[in-house]
């Protein structure tokens, strides 16, 4: 094979364009570089601050779970007051004011909504693998982004009417990766 043939073949190969990196990788790298750039101008933080941040990054998902449980407990413990019996309401009525007729009182009690939380659920919508990240201490970790929708169902026991409240929520989980 002559040099001319090889040169022509080289040119033919050069004309082939390597496939570009995926949008997924580009997004991961953009996040990475932006994080690094964000770190750059900051003054050096005290060691204990950095340690706290690192701990927060490592254990952030546990904090999120704990916060979720606390919210669920608060919702469970919160109870609307039971409506007073009709007789008691009449007896405690202000003197000099005419009590409404029993039919009107019943209507007023029934019309007042008494919603209570009857169901709560967390639905995992997406788990996104954001790839490898380097933590402040130089450790490598794989970062996962979990996207949930938390839903609480409220019900009025008087008439069985219900409504739902759904809130999107994200959790970042760092799984340490051992490199060698």
Q: Which two tokens stand for residue 127?
A: 């788990």
CB of 19 to another protein, least distance (A): 4
| Rounded distance between C-alpha atoms, residue 54 and residue 58, angstroms | 6
Kindly tell me which of 25 and 149 has the beta carbon lying closer to another protein: 25
Kindly tell me which of 1 and 98 has the beta carbon lying closer to another protein: 1
**Binding footprint of another protein on the chain (CB under 8 A):** 1, 5-6, 9-10, 13-14, 16-22, 24-26, 28-30, 32-34, 36-37, 40, 131-134, 138, 140, 177, 179-180
Kindly tell me which of 8 and 84 has the beta carbon lying closer to another protein: 8
| Rounded distance between C-alpha atoms, residue 110 and residue 116, angstroms | 15
With 0-12 / 13-18 / 19 or more C-beta atoms within 10 angstroms meaning exposed / middle / buried, residue 44 is exposed
| Rounded distance between C-alpha atoms, residue 28 and residue 130, angstroms | 6
Taking the CA atoms of 33, 38, 44 and 48 in sequence, report the sign of the dihedral they define. negative
CB of 177 to another protein, least distance (A): 7
Kindly tell me which of 103 and 137 has the beta carbon lying closer to another protein: 137
CB of 123 to another protein, least distance (A): 22
């Amino acid at each position: 094979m002559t040099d001319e043939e090889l040169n022509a073949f080289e040119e033919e190969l050069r004309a082939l364009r390597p496939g570009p990196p995926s949008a997924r990788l580009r997004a991961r790298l953009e996040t990475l570089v932006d994080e690094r750039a964000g770190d750059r101008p900051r003054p050096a933080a005290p060691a204990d601050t950095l340690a706290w941040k690192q701990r927060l990054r490592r254990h952030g998902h546990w904090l999120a779970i704990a916060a979720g449980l606390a919210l669920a407990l608060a919702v469970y413990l919160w109870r609307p007051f039971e409506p007073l019996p009709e007789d008691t309401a009449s007896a405690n009525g202000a003197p000099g004011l005419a009590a409404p007729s029993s039919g009107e009182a019943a209507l007023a009690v029934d019309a007042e909504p008494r919603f209570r939380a009857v169901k709560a659920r967390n639905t995992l919508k997406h788990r996104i693998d954001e790839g490898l990240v380097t933590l402040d201490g130089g450790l490598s970790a794989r970062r996962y982004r979990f996207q949930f929708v938390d839903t609480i169902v409220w019900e009025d026991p008087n008439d069985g009417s219900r409504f739902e409240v759904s809130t999107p929520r994200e959790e970042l989980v760092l799984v340490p990766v051992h490199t060698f």
